[in-house]
Amino acid sequence: MKTNLKFALLIGTLVWGISTTKAQVATDFDKSVDFTKYKTFAWCTPDIQVGNNPVYRSGLITKNIETTLADELGKRGLTMNPENPDLLVGFHTYTEKKTNTYSTATPYPMYYPFGFRAGWRYYPYGFGNWPYAWNNNIQHVQYTEGTLLVDIVDAHTKQLIWRGSVEGDVSNPKRIEKEVAKGIHKVMKDYPVPVAERS
């Protein structure tokens, strides 16, 4: 009976664990462009749309985004040159309140006539285990979803040539810096010029 109960509690914990929001990454680019010809870049004015919450409207977050992006671009042979850039790099940040809905399954004992309980019942050859019943609970958890959109424009033609976006849970202020850095690393993996070719 104890083994069944532990297993049931483990399943409930797993259901809870896999329900959390994971970062979603998407990229797109102009396949007719030779990205290896670009050598320099400059920043565009960032577009910050995170409401009035000071946790997300912070110059430190903006600076960390620029630093991490510059590092990723540098690994691909691009250096910053505000005077004569080949590329213009801009980014946009958004936050939105959302609700995650999921169910958790927890066991509870069932009682039968004469006081017998499921999970412990006498058979002709001795005692044995009966399964526990399951109780499904619907949970609604609010969280803040953050979106970072990175645009790269050809500075001469003014055409958008690459776009990457990452969305994820940024409800924990202590993890914002790490989550933003992880998101940028993931989205830049799909940049047309890998690190190995320009390092």
pLDDT, tens digit only, all 199 positions of the chain: 443 433 333 333 333 333 345 678 999 999 999 999 999 999 999 887 876 667 767 778 889 899 999 999 999 999 999 999 999 999 998 877 767 666 666 655 555 444 444 444 444 544 444 455 555 677 767 767 778 899 999 999 999 999 999 888 877 777 888 888 999 999 999 999 998 554 4
pLDDT value for 123: 47
Domain CATH for 79: 3.30.160.670
Interatomic CA distance for residues 108 and 118, integer angstroms: 9
Residue 199 placed within a domain: no
Residue 121 placed within a domain: yes
pLDDT value for 184: 92
pTM (global) more than 0.75: no
Phi-psi region of 101 (alpha: psi -120 to 50; beta: other; left: phi over 0): beta
In the chain, the number of structural domains is: 1
Pairing of strands 40-43, 79-80: parallel
Residue 198 placed within a domain: no
Interatomic CA distance for residues 87 and 161, integer angstroms: 9
pLDDT value for 165: 93
Range of the domain at 184: 2-193
Residue 103 placed within a domain: yes
Interatomic CA distance for residues 155 and 37, integer angstroms: 13
Residue 129 placed within a domain: yes
Residue 6 placed within a domain: yes
Pairing of strands 160-169, 24-29: antiparallel
Residue 170 placed within a domain: yes
